[in-house]
Amino acid sequence: MTSSLSVLRPTTSTPSLQADLSRSISDGQIPNHVPLLITTLREEAGALVQNLFPEPISDPAIARAALQSLLGAENAQALSAVPEYDPTNRSSTSMILPGVDEIRSTLVRILTDGVWRCPSRDFAERWKKAGAKDVWVGEWTKGNTYASNEGGSICRNGVVCHEASRTGLCRKDTH
């Protein structure tokens, strides 16, 4: 008998995971016999930022307006207080994507963290606290550009955007 391990996104309504995982936590019905690996991509929001802003952004006010539109004014204001999410903060340049301007790189980081990475880690932590035996979070750090991402200025070789083919390393953290 093979082990059921979802390596990309948990698929429910299967013999191993019969119910929605969020609902399972609420109902206290954790199938702790199912090892779970929840993954994200290193630059998951790259495709979104690439589609919204195909060209470099020179004015941080444009990024703030985009965040307000996407995340709401309160969330955008809270994020602006975090130095690593400030595209004008030179100490955040270590997160700049090669060949991509600082403001769009910062938007990729903010949206990847806020929409994919942090919620996935939060879910894994709640899943484990609810009684699941084995749960891990992973991040794909290598991949191939997906057809819908081709030709963009962000999602290209070495940048692992949403929908990228996962062909490389997955850094795992155990919860």
pLDDT (tens digit, 9 = 90+) per residue, 124-173? 888 888 888 788 888 888 777 667 766 778 887 677 887 665 555 555 55
Mean pLDDT across the chain: 78
**For residue 8, what are the CA distances in angstroms to 14, 16, 19, 70, 110?**
15, 15, 17, 25, 22
> Burial of 31 by CB count in 10 Å (0-12 exposed, 13-18 middle, 19+ buried)?
middle
Q: What is the structure's pLDDT at 6?
A: 32
DSSP-based three-state secondary structure for 156? coil
Written in H, E and C, the secondary structure of 13-33 is CCCCCCCCHHHHHHHCCCCCC
Q: What are phi and psi of 173, to 5 degrees?
A: -125, 130
Ranked by mean pLDDT, the top range of 30-34, 37-41, 66-70, 92-96 is 66-70
Q: Of 149, 123, 148, whose CA–CA distance to 136 is shortest?
A: 123
Separation between Cα atoms, residue 154 and residue 108, nearest integer Å: 9
Only one residue has tokens 């195909």, namely 54
Rounded to 5 degrees, φ, ψ at 115 are -100, -30
In the block, tokens 């698929």 appear at: 11
Per-residue pLDDT at 1 exceeds 60: no
Q: Give the three-state DSSP class for 22.
A: helix
Please give the distance of CA 117 from its chain centroid, rounded to a whole number: 4
Distance CA 17, CA 6 (A): 10
pLDDT at 37: 84
Reported confidence tier of residue 7, pLDDT bands at 50, 70, 90: very low
**pLDDT attached to residue 166:** 56
Q: Give residue 4's pLDDT band: very low, low, confident or very high (50, 70, 90).
A: very low
The helix or strand, by DSSP H or E, that contains position 68, with its residue range, turns out to be helix 60-71
Contact 152, 47 (CB under 8 A): yes
